[in-house]
Amino acid sequence: MDLFSTVPTHTATADLESALKTHFGFNAFRPNQEEIVRAILESQDVLAILPTGSGKSMCYQLPALLKSGTAIVVSPLIALMQDQVDELTRNGIAATILNSSQSYADFQHVMDNLSEFKMVYVAPERFSDPRFMEAIHHADISFFVIDEAHCISQWGHAFRPEYRQLGMLRRLFKKPVLAFTATATQDVSRDIVQQLGMPNPFIVKASFDRPNLMIRLSERDNLDTQLAEFLDRHPDDSGIIYAPTRDKVDKLYTRLLEKKFSVAKYHAGLRDSDRLKAQRSFIQDDVRIMVATLAFGMGVHKSNVRFVVHTEMPKNTEQYYQEIGRAGRDGLPSECLALYAAQDKILYKRFLQDLDDPELRRVQTQKTEAFYNFCHATECRRVGLLRYFGETYLAESCPSCDNCLDDVQEIDGTVIAQKILSCVYRLHQGFGIQYVVDVLRGSKNQNILTRGHERLSTYNLMPEFSAAELRYYIGALVHMDYLQISEGEFPMLKLTATSSAVLKNHQQVAFRKKLFKAGKAEKKKRTVAIQPESPSLFKALKALRKELAIQDRVAPFMVFSDKTLVEMATRQPKNEVEFLEINGVGPKKLHQYGNQFLNCIRENIE
């Protein structure tokens, strides 16, 4: 398969851009969109691997309007489908959803009148329903869209068995199949093509780089303190904080609520009504922060998420990339922080032992190891992230990751390493990270005193280092294979075959030590924030947007995105002609909102 196939060129770009502006309000295509639209108009199968925020939905929504018939869009979450249908409907486009929550009358109306809709959104399970299959057999189907297509591959990070049956669509209906995903390695891409039976698809793989995202990874030391410092840099921003379990979500939510943060929570242990209420509150900007498990996942259709925090290490790079992709979908500056610890990796590897397929277990274990190594890497984050997805980052460094921005000093850490390795040896390799740290710092912990470990020569050997610093050095030694962490219920630090070379002074060890201490000036320098030319006008436009969203009972970003408001605040249009030139404003929204926003701009300028 060629990475880029020949694209049909008979339709003028001006005509496509005119349709884009008329139906969706956008002035021009984003990278890769036009090529994909042309391929779909030529009835080609398509595999499009595009990062979140690159406009995947537009790639099939526009051709669905331009082609005859009804497009069937397969999506994994009801909430995600409903948001897209709501946006399409507000743009005057005939779209609907088929799901189990509908009344029988509504469900049957859609089934009996498929031809009235240009797009029908369904879950993959719907294809097990004989009535639905019968209905689409007799309908004029333009094409099938498989959203979140990585779910079809067992080698992906979010395999869903019900996606496997979608391979019969092309065979039964002889209609084009379009697969879209934000995360797919080469193995996953090949599996998608094979499973969906696409003989010669048009394949587009965009760059995985998201330059508007500030990427930070840091060892977890004191979660509450680290989170408080991070949130201080985002006082008015909307964001997601991921925690791994329901219990941890509940506790973190309670702590943030006590500190007067505007926060909601979301996990599978809540009632359906409570989850829906929390999600709607977050999407409509009624609450600023969502604390959630991964159950929040792919249902986040919100363009103005300004930060994503992982309170524990993601399981693999695909999962991490998918989740940070929920920040900055509008292309504006956003920040991503992942906090990690060695025990996170150990826990994930323990869970992987439950997988029956040994090959799948091996692959997933490798992916967890790879991400743990990525956490400890000292090179530019983008270099490592893009390399994982088979892409080369051409610059030596980037302007938006911790390893490139923070002040770092390389130090000779041989003596530090020797002291740590010696302590592990004298403890007979029988204790975990925290216990070793406590011994080295001279803790009066009762467990240490009971075991008589205060009499060891390594007791209180490194009191000048903080617990966080020692954990960082131990993690780095694990990363460099001078230490390893045992499997099992109680992970213990063990020496490796290379440890003796360091202990005997035959091998030097170097550490990269971050010097960055965020004072007020430094914090300000590294704050990720939207900075329109007229902040007061931008604030007024946001207030008006919120008012209109409440009035229309929609999410604020469905009125206009932050990016569109930034352009309004910058260009300050004076009349309807200039207002229509703003990216994100089409004829329908000009009619709906033009007067209110133009008046707001005039009043603030005056």
Strand order in the sheet with 202-205: 95-98, 119-122, 70-74, 141-146, 177-181, 46-49, 202-205
* CA torsion angle 21 22 25 27 (round to 10): 10
- The pLDDT value recorded for residue 249 is 96
Co-location of 145 and 239 in the same domain? no
- pLDDT beyond 90 at 116: yes
Q: Which of 141, 171, 205 is the endpoint of a domain? A: 205
**C-alpha distances in Å from residue 591, one per residue of 22, 93, 289:** 12, 16, 33
CATH of the domain at 37: 3.40.50.300
pLDDT tens for residues 438-486?
999 999 999 999 999 999 999 999 999 988 889 888 988 987 889 988 8
* Stretch 411-417: mean pLDDT: 93
CATH of the domain at 503: 1.10.10.10
Co-location of 93 and 106 in the same domain? yes
Co-location of 400 and 488 in the same domain? no
**Distance separating alpha carbons of residues 524 and 528, to the nearest angstrom:** 9
Co-location of 311 and 386 in the same domain? yes
CATH of the domain at 555: 1.10.150.80
Q: At 52, is the pLDDT very low, low, confident or very high (cuts 50, 70, 90)?
A: confident
- pLDDT beyond 70 at 571: yes
- Of 412, 401, 407, 409, nearest to 379 by C-alpha is 401
**Distance separating alpha carbons of residues 36 and 56, to the nearest angstrom:** 10
Mean of all residue pLDDT scores within the chain: 87
Domain extent at residue 566: 535-605
- pLDDT beyond 60 at 3: no
pLDDT tens for residues 236-273?
899 999 999 999 999 999 999 999 999 999 998 999 88
Co-location of 235 and 373 in the same domain? yes
* Element (DSSP H or E) covering residue 193: helix 186-195
Q: At 45, is the pLDDT very low, low, confident or very high (cuts 50, 70, 90)?
A: very high
243 lies in a domain? yes
Domain total in the chain: 4
Among 9-13, 94-98, 320-324, which is the least confidently predicted range? 9-13
231 lies in a domain? yes
Co-location of 181 and 223 in the same domain? no
359 lies in a domain? yes
- The pLDDT value recorded for residue 197 is 92
Q: Is the dihedral of CA 300, 16, 569, 398 positive or negative?
A: positive
pLDDT tens for residues 165-217?
898 999 999 999 999 998 877 888 899 999 999 989 999 998 889 999 999 99
**Which amino acid appears at position 25 of this protein?**
G
Q: Out of 158-167, 339-348, 499-508, 510-519, give the one with best mean pLDDT.
A: 499-508
- pLDDT beyond 80 at 370: yes
**Distance separating alpha carbons of residues 165 and 181, to the nearest angstrom:** 18
Co-location of 392 and 503 in the same domain? no
Q: Specify the 3-state DSSP secondary structure of 410.
A: strand
Co-location of 421 and 399 in the same domain? no
- pLDDT beyond 60 at 70: yes
Co-location of 398 and 415 in the same domain? no
522 lies in a domain? no
- Quick one: residue 198, left, alpha or beta (phi over 0 = left, psi -120 to 50 = alpha)? beta
276 lies in a domain? yes
- The pLDDT value recorded for residue 528 is 57
- The pLDDT value recorded for residue 579 is 96
520 lies in a domain? no
75 lies in a domain? yes
- pLDDT beyond 60 at 522: no
Co-location of 328 and 431 in the same domain? no
Name the one residue in this structure whose structure tokens are 């890769």.
Answer: 32
Name the one residue in this structure whose structure tokens are 């020569």.
Answer: 457
- In this prediction the pTM is 0.77
29 lies in a domain? yes
Q: Which of 189, 205, 221 is the endpoint of a domain? A: 205
Q: Which of 383, 406, 429 is the endpoint of a domain? A: 406
Q: Are 463 and 441 in contact (CB under 8 A)?
A: yes
Co-location of 105 and 44 in the same domain? yes
Co-location of 226 and 148 in the same domain? no
- Of 60, 49, 80, nearest to 144 by C-alpha is 60
